[in-house]
Structure 1
Amino acid sequence: MKRVLIVDDAAVMRLTIRTILEKNGFEVAGDADCGKDGIAKYKELRPDIVTMDITMPGISGIEAVKEIIDFDPDARIIMLSAMGQEQFIMEAVKAGAKSFLVKPFNEEHMIQTFTKVLSK
Structure 2
Amino acid sequence: MAATFAVVDDDLASQRMLADILNTRGDVIAEFSSGQEALKYFESGHRVDVCFIDLLMPDISGIEVVENVLSLYPGTLFVMISQVEAKTLLAKAYTVGVEFFIHKPINRKEILAIADRVLEKQRLKSALNLIEKSLAEIHNPKPLKVKKTDEAMIKKRFQLVFADLGILGETGSRELQAIVLRFRDSEEELLNLPLRSVYQAIAGSEEEIQSIEQRIRRVIKQALGNIALRGSEDFYDECFERYASKYFDYAEVRDRVLELRQKRTSSARINIRKFIIALYMDVLHDI
TM-score (norm 1): 0.90
Q: What is aligned with 1:51?
A: 52
Give CA deviations for 1:31-85 in whole Å, capped at 9, x if unaligned.
1111111122234431110011000011111111110111112210000011434
Structure 2 Cα separation of the partners of residues 117 and 25 of structure 1: 11
Q: Give the conservation status (yes or no) of the 8 Å contact 1:81–1:103.
A: yes
Q: What is aligned with 1:27?
A: 27
Structure 2 Cα separation of the partners of residues 104 and 83 of structure 1: 11
Q: What is aligned with 1:81?
A: 82
| Number of residue pairs matched by the alignment | 119
Structure 2 Cα separation of the partners of residues 97 and 60 of structure 1: 13
Question: Which of the pair has the greater relative contact order for Cα pairs under 8 Å at 6+ separation?
Answer: 1
SS at match of 1:77: strand
Structure 2 Cα separation of the partners of residues 105 and 59 of structure 1: 22
Q: What is aligned with 2:70?
A: 69
Residue 71 of structure 2 aligns to which amino acid in structure 1?
D
Structure 1 Cα separation of the partners of residues 53 and 119 of structure 2: 15
SS at match of 2:6: strand
Structure 1 Cα separation of the partners of residues 117 and 85 of structure 2: 24
Structure 1 Cα separation of the partners of residues 28 and 51 of structure 2: 10
Q: Give the conservation status (yes or no) of the 8 Å contact 1:81–1:89.
A: no
Structure 2 Cα separation of the partners of residues 72 and 25 of structure 1: 22
Q: Give the conservation status (yes or no) of the 8 Å contact 2:19–2:28.
A: yes
TM-score (norm 2): 0.40
Unaligned runs of 5+ in 1: none
Structure 2 Cα separation of the partners of residues 18 and 86 of structure 1: 27
Instruction: From the CA coordinates, give the structure whose radius of gyration is larger.
Output: 2
Q: Give the conservation status (yes or no) of the 8 Å contact 1:76–1:97.
A: yes
Q: What is aligned with 2:41?
A: 41
Structure 2 Cα separation of the partners of residues 48 and 113 of structure 1: 14
Structure 2 Cα separation of the partners of residues 86 and 14 of structure 1: 24
Structure 2 Cα separation of the partners of residues 9 and 105 of structure 1: 14
